[in-house]
Amino acid sequence: MLYTLGYFVFALLLLITVHEFGHFIVARFCGVKVLRFSFGFGKVLGSWQDKRGTEYALSLIPLGGYVKMLDEAEGPVPENERHLAFNNKSLSARVAIVLAGPLFNFLFAFLAFWLVLVIGIQSLAPMVEAVKPGSIVARAGVTAKDEILSLNGKKVTSWHDFQYALMPLLGTVDPVPMTLKSLTNGQQKTVTLPLAEWKMNEKKPDVLASLGIVPFLPTIPPIVGEVVADSPAALGGLQVGDKMTSVNGKLITDWLILVDFVRQHPNASMVFNIIRQGDAKTLTLTSASVNTKGHEEGLLGVRSQRANWPPHWLRTQREAPLEAIPTALMQTARLTSATFALIGRLITGKISLQTISGPVGIAVGAGESAHNGVAYYLSFLALVSISLGVMNLLPIPMLDGGHLLYYLLETLRRRPLSDEFKSMGVYFGLALLVMLMIIALRNDLTRLT
């Protein structure tokens, strides 16, 4: 739990700081005096000031930040500093300052995707183990032992790629082409997925299951690769290299069998038969309990030995630094476009509001991606950064897009908007954002039960 919370807080603080830094640096460039750059909200715990009069503050609540600029709309400004006030800058300067926050989120996403490509990411090949009868993929002609090569014209090398390519298609009704290769005879074929009937379980969303795909997951040998200090496994005497053969009489032929059994037995005594350096031994361990998604699960504190799977089961995506630049740009542009499209389908009702995730969903995603490795966590940060950038561009008062909407209306009217109108907009924007947060939290809590 603390592990997940830590990665969630880091992700949120990092991405919002990136956003606010965009506003800050462009405001400085445009000659606006920045009064405060705060890391976090609420009570200021500590601060320091630079030569230009900007206060850098560390605040109590580490869930965001803000940039406070000199502005006559927020208080009196000395006559000798009026030229430094935000409201006295040209329309183009104010637009640039407002746009800078979301644009820096997109820039961060590009850099994260670029790093992922340069570091390299190794994933299981998108091989289909089985197809559920009557499902979408079954009607399309997908069969067991097929490998997915592309979806809707986009190359697919892993299940990670497949889900990213599928995300923009949520809520569409048009059939989508998918290219496959048979693992038995090597023949390729192109099928058409009838996505008009595609619906996910909103309480427990699973993209592959919703399509009827059972992915190929190779067997993981039930050999201990790591024992967490002071865990039930360590206290019970388990050691690295121990091979599990049975638990409470149940045969263990795969590490996942062990994981599932332990999860179903929190705070339970378990008798393990193991093989250690060729000798058979019996150990009795008592599992711990951890609250996961609203229910108790068992925990031992062990990890499996790294499996040496055959190369044909794996796909590695890695590019040279220069080659990775256009690929990262393309990934950023595609996901940004897809996010706008998904929001449009939410507004028009083509996608249910129950698909929205809130802070709990983001926290779970942060923890799971971090557990899978640096590259997966960077991909997660890129996706959330794009979502944050797009959300802030929506024409809702209180968001950056709301300010841009005001500037557009002022340009069309050729005079400033009244303070009363702006105040009404703030109340409307606040009410809308609170409503969306309540929906997102409700969805998160529903998925936990």
- Count the helix, strand and coil residues of the chain and give each as a percent rounded to the nearest 5: 50, 25, 30
Residue 428 burial (CB count, 10 A): 14
CA dist., res. 368 & res. 379, Å (int): 12
Contact 105, 22 (CB under 8 A): yes
| Catalytic residue selected from 20, 296, 297, 368 | 20
Residue 430: which region, alpha, beta or left (left: phi > 0; alpha: psi -120 to 50)? Answer: alpha
Q: Is residue 296 annotated as part of the catalytic site, yes or no?
A: no
- Tell me which amino acid residue 404 is: L
Phi, psi of 137 (to 5 degrees): -70, -30
Q: What are the C-alpha distances in Å from 262 to residues 71, 176, 193, 269?
A: 59, 41, 38, 10
The per-type count for the chain, helices as H runs and strands as E runs, is 12, 18
CA dist., res. 188 & res. 182, Å (int): 6
Contacts for 282 with CB less than 8 Å, ≥ 6 apart: 271, 272, 273, 274
Q: Please spell the DSSP secondary structure of 55-69, one letter per residue.
A: EEEEEEEEEEEEEEE
Angle at 393 between CA 388 and CA 398, to 5 degrees: 90
**E strand intervals along 117-238:** 121-124, 128-131, 146-151, 154-155, 176-182, 188-193, 213-215, 224-227
Contact 389, 336 (CB under 8 A): yes
Contact 366, 186 (CB under 8 A): no
Query: What residues act catalytically?
Result: 20
